[in-house]
Amino acid sequence: MTVRTLSGALQNALKKCPEAPAIYYFDTAWTYQQLVDRVEQVSGFLRQHGIHAGDRMAVMLQNMPASVVVQFAVWALGAIVVPINMMYQPQEISLQLRDAQVSGIVILESVASRLNSLPEVDTMRVVMVVKDGQDFRGKAPSWLPTSRSDGPVQYAYHSYDAALSADVLTEDQWVHLESLDLCYLTYTSGTTGTSKGAMNTHGQVLYNAAVYESAAQLSSQDVILAFAPLFHITGAVAALATAVWLAAPLVLFYRFDPFVACHAIERHRGTFTVGAMTTYLSILEHINPSEYDLSSFHKAYSGGAPVSSAIVARFESRFHQYIYNVYGLTESANGLILTPWTRRAPVDKGSGALSIGLPGPGIEVEIRDLNARDKRLPPGTEGELALKGPPLTHGYWNRPDATQESIVDGWFFTGDVAVQDQAGWVYIVDRKKDMIITAGNKVWPRDVEDALYLHPSVKEVAVVGLPDAYRGEVVTAFVVRTDENLTEDSLKQFLRIHLAPFKIPRVIQWVEEIPKTATGKSLRRYFRETAKS
């Protein structure tokens, strides 16, 4: 059977192994047959309420079985999933609903009141609310809101439970789609301006699931852990799509927690995940290796933000597990450059950056001049990373201006400054917009952050350039330290053996935490904007 779509991948898994485990969620365990049974029920309910092929359906759920069911139910109808970040507040939700022109939404009970004042709700064909405790069995972590709600819901809605008793749409009745049909309208995090919807097709998502299969040497015998949220492209592709593509089990745990995650690894013998570096930092901080059997967890990948070689070494020393790098974008349907399993990524001698990996099959990489996009640069030269290949988006939803800005002659310009060596390894130096110019010297924040991470008392950092009347900008470091005795002077002294004098932060500020996106990217812009206000 040739698999071209995500719903086709689920049908293929059902045909191959109906009784194989599909989902583990605390004490809940479903086979692929049980998963498809629920998809047939929910897709039937959505069809009864007017959802058709091509419609956009918003989904605002945590990593729970209902999220998997709803997404496949939407695809069974030929409709498009619009994932919404669980951290979004009413104004952010409204902008996304309006831009995508959604026909309905499925939302978690604990955040459902955020829709109360939104006019978009009145025009939807269906609004469904899912209880936070849905499909949950077992002892709940203290943070899981099994019944609590942020407030009363002031609009008409259907319960998810009602959908589970609807007339079914059997899998042989699902809408036939092709690889070029859209499966996701995935909105960028907005860290580089107005959030915009990248159009991801079924074929693009499955292509990268196959890239993971090849690079990490995955099979149906692997156990896929969803460290990343399913509402983000990493969770959608590296967890959900990859698991179903392989007909492997997917382990969910509502949201990431280091103790719950490590317990799940031990219990289900988890083997593979792609998580933000913050998830590994959290495990480093909270988990005693002697208390969990993590020996099965040997395909640990990190994506979403550049990885410091110092953190990788620290994690390996403590847990005897090397962290493999992967690079991807919302616009590339997640990972398309990654470090093959069992190989170690080299470190660039010039920038000190740990390589993000080698291009996946069919992926073309070029380094272009920062000031002349049509000029290709030779190996070993810093420039903007440009990508071409099957998983790259063809554009942004209703944004021809943004599409033309990012895609030129079939090449997607990432905004990341990178180097590629003669052997093909790619290194991310930093974001183009984050470059600091101080007294005429160019400083990449990533370079300084990597040096700071070498200090054993540095937990997290964010480096930015702040306005200065004399130097133009000054290198400023915001640091989370693990030892209160660490002083600004001693840290600067430490940096002198790792950095040129002009790169050493003139200002170091101690902070309790580094603000991040939902997927673990440090929000440098928070510190820049705070300094302006």
User: What are the extents of the domains in the chain?
Assistant: 6-418, 435-532
Encode pLDDT of 67-101 as tens digits.
999 999 999 999 999 999 898 889 889 989 999 99
Distance CA 232, CA 189 (A): 9
Instruction: Please say whether the beta carbons of 189 and 234 come within 8 A.
Output: no
Dihedral sign of CA atoms 452, 458, 462, 467 in order: negative
Report how far residue 93's alpha carbon sits from residue 197's, in angstroms, rounded to the nearest whole number: 13
Question: Confidence class of residue 148 from pLDDT cuts 50, 70 and 90?
Answer: low
- The DSSP line for 496-522 is TTTS-GGGS-SEEEE-S---B-TTS-B
The CA distance from 404 to 388, in Å, is: 15
Q: Can you tell me the distance from the alpha carbon of 406 to that of 402, in angstroms, rounded to the nearest whole number?
A: 6
Which CATH architecture group holds 6-418? 3-Layer(aba) Sandwich (3.40)
Give the tens place of pLDDT for each residue, 474-512.
Answer: 999 999 999 999 999 999 999 998 888 889 999 999 999
* C-alpha to C-alpha distance for 239 and 519, rounded to whole angstroms: 14
Q: Give dist(CA 133, CA 62) in Å, integer.
A: 11
What is the secondary structure of 454-497 as a DSSP string? TSTTEEEEEEEEEEETTTEEEEEEEEEES-TT--HHHHHHHHTT
What's the pLDDT band for 388 if we cut at 50, 70, 90? very high
Share above pLDDT 70 across residues of the chain, in percent, rounded to a whole number? 96
pLDDT range class, residue 149, cuts 50, 70, 90: low
Are 6-418 and 435-532 equal in CATH topology? Answer: no
Q: Of 125, 137, 121, 131, whose CA–CA distance to 164 is shortest?
A: 131
Global pTM reads 0.87
pLDDT tier for residue 184 given thresholds of 50, 70 and 90:
very high
pLDDT over threshold 50, residue 289: yes
462 within 8 A of 431, measured Cβ to Cβ:
no
> What is the pLDDT, as a whole number, of residue 532?
63
Question: 435-532 in CATH: which number?
Answer: 3.30.300.30
Query: Between 32-48 and 6-16, two packed helices, what is the crossing angle to 10 degrees?
Result: 140
Sole residue written with tokens 């972590």: 141
In angstroms, the CA 481 to CA 318 distance is 19
DSSP for 48-94 reads HTT--TT-EEEEE--BSHHHHHHHHHHHHTT-EEEE--TT--HHHHH
Task: Please write the tens of the pLDDT for every residue from 194-253.
Answer: 679 999 999 999 999 999 999 999 999 999 999 999 999 999 999 999 999 999 999 999
How many CB atoms lie under 10 A from the CB of residue 427? 28
Residues 6+ apart with CB under 8 A from 434: 444, 445, 464, 524
Q: Among positive and negative, which fits the CA dihedral 36, 143, 517, 447?
A: negative
The whole-number average pLDDT for the span 156-162 is 96
d(CA 91, CA 186): 18
Question: How far, in Å, CA of 415 to CA of 434, rounded?
Answer: 10
What torsion, rounded to 10 degrees, do the Cα atoms 190, 252, 112, 199 define?
Answer: 40
Residues 282 and 236: their CA atoms lie apart, in Å, by: 22
Dist. CA 188–CA 402, nearest whole Å = 12
Does the pLDDT at position 325 exceed 50?
yes
Model pLDDT for residues 422-468, shown as the tens digit of each residue: 999 999 887 778 878 787 677 888 889 988 999 999 999 999 989 88
Position of tokens 């990248």?
A: 198
Sign of CA dihedral 255, 13, 59, 179: positive
Predicted confidence (pLDDT) at residue 280 exceeds the cutoff of 90: yes
Partnered with residue 473 across adjacent β-strands are: 467
Here the contacts of 469-474 (C-beta below 8 Å, separation 24 or greater) are 470/439, 471/438, 471/439, 472/437, 472/438, 472/439, 472/440, 473/436, 473/437, 473/438, 474/438, 474/505, 474/506, 474/507
Torsion-angle region of 532 (φ positive above 0: left; ψ -120 to 50: alpha; else: beta): alpha
Six token digits for residue 206: 């499955």
CA–CA dist 266, 270 (Å, integer): 7
State pLDDT tens for residues 28-58: 999 999 999 999 999 999 999 999 999 999 9
Q: Exposure string (b/e) for 339-354, b if CB count within 10 Å is 16 or more?
A: bebeeebeebeebbbb
